[in-house]
Amino acid sequence: MDWTEHRSPAKVNLHLQVVGRRPDGYHELRTVFQTIDLEDRIELALGGRGVEIECRGAGLPFAEENLAVRAARLFASRWAPRLGIRLRLDKRIPVGGGLGGGSSNAATVLLALRERCGFPATREELWEAARSLGADVPYFLLGGAALGIGRGDELVPLPEPPLSRLWLAVPPLAIDTGRVFRSLPGLTEAPLAPSIRRLLGPQRRGPSPLGDFLGHNDLQATVFRLYPEVATVYDSLVAAGACWVSLSGSGACLVARFRGARAGELARKAMPPGVELRPVFTLSRRAWLERWPEGRG
């Protein structure tokens, strides 16, 4: 079989505002996504019958529930009904960490199959397929810095920050996202956060400093109440000198910024037992899209 390898990046939420509940049962969000260079590896080959996956990495869902498998089956059912697909997934993005690993895997499989099969689906059709798989999946067809509204699947590209170092704290637990949203207090419609309005202003045409993107996370207080160990990690980062700390998505991972690489390295020693603190860099939209034929023009 002819195998191709593809990198599947994680994301962090630099801002997450929950502004109300929607009639469809989801929550109305205003969030700033940013891809980072922490990546899974996906190998893909065509042949055989049906869709099969081989996974390396702990804590992965059964094949029937795996988003990469669901994406492959959806693509085949719509655009290549007799196609057999083989996947090898090397999982490096923490599962249940709020980093969008499963959604990224699904989007990467859609993009890779579209390329391997000679582009039978238009970009718009691929987008609709991504939305049917999950609210975060369409974002990974875009990458970079983007504002997500609605469920998070309506996207507005943002002027991107320069390459920037962030620090990712990875506690040894997974968060139940459904439980977090079910436990949120009553919400009312709220205006767009001022920091996000500034990013969307007409004067914004060139790169913006990373600090302009850093906001807060409305899920944070609820997660800290349900999972006190995550609050302990937050407190440890602040005590270690982080100038900004926020939960990514619904957690459990936290993303932090320090004034210099040495401060981040010293903070590693202050983490609670079992918590990994690793440096990551922002991944621009251009760097992500250049991996695919349409982005190389």
List active site positions: 11, 136
Q: Which helix (H) or strand (E) holds 4?
A: strand 4-21
Which residues, 6 or more positions from 72, have their beta carbon under 8 angstroms from its beta carbon? 51, 85, 87, 109, 113
Question: With 0-12 CB in 10 A as exposed, 13-18 as middle and 19+ as buried, what is 216?
Answer: middle
Question: With 0-12 CB in 10 A as exposed, 13-18 as middle and 19+ as buried, what is 146?
Answer: buried
User: Could you give the angle at the alpha carbon of 61 between the alpha carbons of 59 and 62, nearest 5°?
Assistant: 130
Adjacent-strand bridge partners of 9: 39
- As a whole number of Å, the end-to-end CA separation of the chain is 29
Token pair in block for residue 21? 């509940």
Specify the DSSP class assigned to residue 154: E
- Sign of the torsion angle spanned by Cα atoms 127, 284, 214, 230: positive
